[in-house]
């Protein structure tokens, strides 16, 4: 039974508010619905609106009349043009539809009036609507007064960003969605343009704040800067001028709200959330909000239940879109990093920047373009990027997949046993180019838990040699690497499944750290290391590295991440020393670099060494992405072969921003600012992601953890699913009968969210 809502007030006459009014009136013609809009009917500060096929499908099912009216005015096109350094690369098959924002509003005005919605323009919404109406829909935009007034309930978080942009228009239609890069004396500027009418295009000019100021755009009227932009992008504009609609330069702000409703008031569209214009999502999200809100009011028996269902349905979708939008936004903010990429790789990188468009998706849309990118990258015919080889010092990996280090907590007295043989052996048989051990500890006191492995005795070394021999004999061509570390203040804790980072109830050993700061209040307070103890620990690392070389490991990684001992020296949050090993950035680097040098000295010269770092502490006052670049440069100066880029786990009070491949931007930045090879890690879960990241040049290798727990033969299966059978991955002879992907049953597409008919 639908929610009994009779009187509805909608604040804001944008597309989201108007469409919500039309849908709610259609569902119940007896409702009294009023839209309050402070501006005039044809006031709008944008030009064109892009809608996806998915959004249009929802509109078609919910209101065929609106859909039909939109279709009469749509400009449609398939291509994206990327113009950089005089070269234009075109990718097709994308399927865009756009129309003028004023035309969209006019269509919705007509529909609302035909249904009997009361539209009140040029009128501020009264403050007491929640008292006089059953439901108040706040669709009053990014500067929502409703959200501000009830900020203590909605708890908004507004994040400003680093670029300035301005919405303009040109009086001719682009024949594609056009991205053009201009390298000016003041810095990099970019044009985003697309047609929205037979004779008009939206043009957005964007640049970093410092470039905007260097160009003098902060000191001249907007019209003068508009004229200057037309000159800068004269070729793209065919010598035509740009026009404004009271346009001003602004910075994009990402809006996130902890809650979307309070009592009978609910947020919709930009009032609830924003997503950067570079993925064309604002109107799309608002329209989809309206669809979901109308459906939930129809499905739920109470208003409270309907608003809770609306928020539960939309929040995950919006969060996913905002993650994609943020990735796109940051790509354009850091555009200067990619200017020297090969031309087609640059274009591919731009197209896949949000992670919504991927290698496989783009290959389906435009196989000729994607094939050209692959050839430029060096992929042999029929070879996905992930199965191209990669060389580190004297080691050539046959593919770009790494089994990420994963603590198994299954050793006895630091000795890896049958479990480790089967665990690591299975992943080696599974096709990855490089299989990494868990963090192997350099001393009994350097273990995280009693179940952690070590390399501080001959017995342990013999057990590790048994494993490396198996990998080299039974999976020839697969490399096995050792991650070497010391737990520091995070040691002497329970096995992960018994209570991660919780102290042992008995049998504790003393823990050490750069400074006497416990990881959590209930953890041990570590002893601050003195000079003599630092020397001892450095020698423990070198002794373990010497044993690792004799045990047959192909690569050694020094663990300087996740708050363990060496990471503890790097972070200002955990290193409060006042001697030569603490204080300044260079001093905090000193001990990790000393350990690296000592290990490199005993590690065979032809074998590579990598370092894992936490590229951000995710905490105020901690290391940042900028610091990570400098840390990587420091290790590069000492001869590191690659940086394995993780984040966080340094302090308990961190605030990570999780999401698909969420740590990759840090690897990307280090790679492009330092020129070092990098290993990306963190929520990379599909072979399509791996191909996309490799081909875009954001990383050199991809390390996957949980996917290899779910499927030890992940890489073999990735090859089978892509129809690849080449030297980049080799099926063990006993397994070759399983090298074809099994048949699966069909799956049906989901039904439309809301279907009302004509």
pLDDT in tens, 337-349: 999 999 999 999 9
Q: Is the pLDDT of residue 757 over 60?
A: no
**Interatomic CA distance for residues 446 and 491, integer angstroms:** 7
Mean pLDDT of 15-24: 95
Task: Report the distance separating Cα 531 and Cα 428, nearest Å.
Answer: 41
pLDDT of residue 749: 59
Active site residue: 564, 581, 662, 666, which one?
Answer: 564
pLDDT for 751: 63
* Confidence (pLDDT) at 155: 97
- Going from the C-alpha of 313 to that of each of 60, 260, 308, 693, 755, the distances in angstroms are 20, 12, 9, 30, 17
Averaged pLDDT for residues 406-433: 97
How much is the pLDDT for 279?
A: 86
- Is 573 strand, coil or helix? coil
Q: Decide: helix, strand or coil at residue 40.
A: coil
Please say if the pLDDT value at position 638 is more than 90.
yes
Confidence band for 175, pLDDT divided at 50, 70 and 90: very high
The residue-averaged pLDDT of 401-415 equals 96
Give residue-wise pLDDT tens across range 302-357: 999 999 999 999 999 999 999 999 999 999 999 999 999 999 999 999 999 998 89
Task: Tell me which residue has tokens 């770092």.
Answer: 613
| 136 CB-near residues (< 8 Å, 6+ apart) | 8, 9, 10, 11, 129, 130, 146, 264, 265, 266
Q: What pLDDT is stored for residue 176 in this prediction?
A: 94
User: Does residue 747 register a pLDDT over 80?
Assistant: no
In the numeric block, the tokens 């991660």 are attached to: 500
pLDDT, tens digit (0-9, with 9 covering 90-100), for 51-100: 777 777 778 887 888 889 888 989 999 999 999 999 999 999 988 889 99
**CA–CA–CA angle 388, 390, 393 (5° rounding):** 165
Taking residue 158's Cβ as centre, other Cβ atoms within 10 Å add up to 12
Instruction: Say if residue 132's pLDDT is above 60.
Output: yes
CA–CA separation, 417 and 136 (whole Å): 64
pLDDT at 44: 67
Give the Cα separation of 170 and 200 in Å (integer).
6
What the block records as the tokens of 518 is: 């416990």
Residue 679 CA to its chain's centroid (Å): 16
Q: Which residues contact 390 (CB under 8 A, 6 or more apart)?
A: 396, 397, 399, 400, 433, 677, 700, 701
Q: Give the pLDDT band (50/70/90) at residue 543.
A: very high
Alpha helices in 116-214 (DSSP H): 129-132, 145-149, 151-154, 209-214
- Express each pLDDT in 685-720 by its tens digit: 899 999 999 999 999 999 999 999 999 999 999 999
Between strands 48-51 and 555-560, the pairing is unpaired
Q: Give the residue-averaged pLDDT of 532-558.
A: 98
CB atoms within 10 A of CB 132: 10
pLDDT band at 622 (very low <50, low <70, confident <90, very high): very high
| Dihedral in degrees, nearest 10, Cα atoms 108, 113, 119, 122 | 70
Secondary structure of residue 631 in the 3-state scheme: helix
Of the pLDDT bands very low, low, confident and very high (cuts 50, 70, 90), residue 758 is: low
Measured CA to CA, the distance from residue 246 to residue 381 in angstroms comes to 52
pLDDT band, very low/low/confident/very high, at 742 (cuts 50, 70, 90) = confident
Which tokens go with 158? Answer: 């507004």
Q: What is the DSSP letter of 738?
A: G
Percent pLDDT > 70 in the chain is: 97
pLDDT at 470: 98
Q: Half-sphere exposure of 332 toward its Cβ, with a 13 Å CA cutoff?
A: 31
Catalytic: 564?
yes
Q: pLDDT, tens digit, for every residue of 199-221?
A: 999 999 999 999 999 999 999 99
Question: Which of 645, 653, 639, 706 has its CA nearest to residue 670?
Answer: 645
Phi, psi angle pair for 570, to nearest 5°: -75, -35
For residue 471, what is the DSSP state? H
For residue 75, the surrounding DSSP H or E stretch is strand 75-77
The three-state secondary structure class of 632 is helix
pLDDT above 70 (res 112): yes
Reply yes or no on whether the pLDDT at 47 is more than 90: no
| pLDDT number for residue 280 | 73
Please, which pLDDT band fits residue 281 given cuts at 50, 70 and 90? confident
Confidence (pLDDT) at 753: 61
pLDDT of residue 147: 96
Mean pLDDT computed over 544-562: 98
Q: Using CA atoms, how far apart are residues 104 and 69, in angstroms rounded to an integer?
A: 9
Helix axes 367-377, 343-351, angle to 10 degrees: 130
Q: Please report the pLDDT score of residue 739 as a whole number.
A: 81
Angle, CA 703 vertex, CA 698 and CA 704 arms, to 5°: 120
Mean pLDDT of 185-202: 95
For residue 519, what are the CA distances in angstroms to 489, 676, 687? 6, 32, 36
> Which tokens go with 736?
């070759």
pLDDT tens digits along 77-90 = 999 999 999 999 99
And the tokens for 595? 């350990």
Angle, CA of 461, 465 and 470, to the nearest 5°: 155
pTM of the model: 0.91
Distance CA 112, CA 15 (A): 11
For the chain, what is the largest distance between any 2 Cα atoms, rounded to a whole number of angstroms? 85
Which two tokens mark 332? 């354009």
Question: Tokens representing 51?
Answer: 């809608």
What per-residue confidence (pLDDT) applies to 745? 66
- Residue 737: the pLDDT is 83
Using CA atoms, how far apart are residues 201 and 614, in angstroms rounded to an integer?
44
How high is the pLDDT of residue 41?
A: 83
Mean pLDDT of the chain: 94
Rounded to whole angstroms, the Cα distance separating 737 from 715 reads 16
**754 pLDDT band (50/70/90 cuts)?**
low
Classify residue 93 by burial, with Cβ atoms within 10 Å: 0-12, 13-18, 19+.
middle
């Amino acid at each position: 039974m639908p929610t009994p809502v009779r009187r509805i007030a909608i604040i804001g006459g944008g597309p989201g508010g108007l469409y919500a009014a039309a849908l709610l009136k259609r569902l119940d013609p007896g409702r009294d619905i009023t839209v309050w809009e402070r501006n005039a009917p044809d006031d709008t500060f944008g030009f064109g609106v892009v809608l996806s096929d998915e959004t249009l499908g929802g509109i078609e099912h919910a209101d065929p009349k609106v859909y039909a009216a939109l279709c009469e005015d749509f400009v449609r096109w398939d291509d994206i043009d990327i113009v950089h350094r005089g070269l234009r690369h075109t990718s097709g098959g994308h399927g865009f539809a756009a129309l003028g924002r004023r035309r969209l509003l006019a269509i919705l005005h007509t529909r609302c009036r035909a249904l009997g919605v009361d539209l009140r323009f040029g009128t501020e919404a009264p403050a007491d609507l929640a008292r006089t109406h059953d439901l108040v829909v706040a669709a009053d935009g990014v500067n929502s007064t409703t959200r501000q007034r009830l900020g203590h309930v909605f708890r908004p978080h507004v994040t400003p960003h680093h670029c300035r942009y301005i919405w303009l228009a040109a009086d001719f239609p682009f024949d594609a969605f056009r991205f053009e890069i201009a390298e000016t004396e003041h810095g990099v500027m970019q044009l985003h343009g697309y047609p929205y009418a037979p004779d008009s295009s939206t043009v957005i000019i964007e640049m970093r704040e410092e470039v905007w100021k260097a160009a003098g755009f902060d000191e001249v009227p907007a019209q003068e800067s508009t004229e200057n932009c037309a000159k800068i992008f004269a070729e793209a504009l065919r010598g035509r001028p740009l026009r404004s609609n009271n346009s001003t330069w602004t910075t994009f702000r990402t809006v996130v709200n902890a809650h979307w409703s309070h009592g009978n008031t609910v947020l919709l569209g930009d009032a609830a959330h924003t997503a950067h214009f570079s993925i064309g999502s604002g109107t799309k999200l608002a329209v989809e909000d309206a669809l979901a809100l109308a459906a939930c009011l129809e499905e739920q028996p109470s208003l409270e239940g309907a608003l809770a269902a609306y928020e539960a349905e939309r929040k995950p979708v919006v969060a996913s879109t905002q993650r994609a939008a943020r990735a796109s936004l940051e790509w354009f903010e850091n555009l200067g990093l990619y200017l020297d990429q090969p031309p087609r790789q640059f274009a591919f990188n731009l197209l896949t920047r949000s992670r919504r468009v991927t290698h496989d998706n783009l290959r389906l849309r435009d196989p000729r373009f994607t094939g050209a990118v692959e050839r430029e990258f060096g992929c042999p015919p029929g070879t996905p990027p992930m199965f191209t080889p990669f060389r580190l010092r004297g080691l050539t990996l046959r593919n770009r997949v790494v089994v990420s280090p994963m603590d198994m907590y299954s050793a006895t007295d630091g000795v890896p046993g049958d479990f480790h043989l089967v665990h690591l052996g299975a992943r080696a048989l599974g096709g990855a180019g490089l299989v990494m051990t868990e963090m192997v500890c350099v001393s009994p006191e350097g273990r995280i838990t009693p179940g952690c492995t070590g390399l501080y005795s001959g017995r342990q070394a013999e057990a590790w040699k048994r494993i490396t021999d198996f990998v080299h004999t039974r999976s020839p061509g697969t490399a096995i690497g050792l991650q070497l570390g010391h737990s520091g203040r995070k040691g002497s804790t329970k096995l992960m499944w018994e209570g991660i980072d919780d102290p042992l109830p008995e049998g504790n050993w003393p823990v050490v750290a750069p400074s006497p700061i416990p990881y959590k209040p209930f953890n041990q307070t570590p002893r601050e290391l003195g000079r003599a103890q630092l020397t001892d620990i450095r020698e423990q690392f070198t002794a373990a590295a010497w044993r690792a070389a004799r045990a047959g490991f192909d690569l050694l990684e020094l663990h300087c991440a996740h708050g363990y001992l060496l990471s503890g020296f790097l972070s200002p949050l955990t290193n409060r020393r006042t001697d030569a090993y603490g204080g300044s950035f260079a001093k905090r680097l000193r001990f990790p670099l000393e350990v690296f040098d000592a290990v490199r000295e005993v590690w065979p010269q032809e074998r590579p060494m990598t370092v894992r770092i936490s590229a951000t502490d995710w905490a105020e006052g901690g290391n940042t992405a900028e610091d990570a670049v400098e840390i990587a440069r420091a290790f590069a100066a000492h001869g590191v072969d690659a940086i394995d880029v993780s984040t966080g786990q340094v302090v308990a009070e961190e605030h990570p921003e999780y999401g698909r491949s969420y740590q990759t931007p840090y690897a990307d930045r280090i790679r492009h600012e330092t020129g070092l090879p990098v290993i990306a890690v963190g929520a990379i879960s599909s072979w399509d992601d791996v191909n996309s990241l490799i081909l875009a040049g954001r990383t050199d290798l991809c390390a996957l953890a949980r996917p290899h727990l779910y499927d030890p033969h992940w890489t073999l299966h990735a090859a089978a699913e892509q129809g690849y059978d080449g030297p980049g991955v080799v099926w063990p002879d006993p397994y070759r009968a399983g090298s074809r992907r099994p048949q699966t049953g069909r799956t049906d597409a989901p039904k439309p969210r809301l279907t009302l008919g004509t």
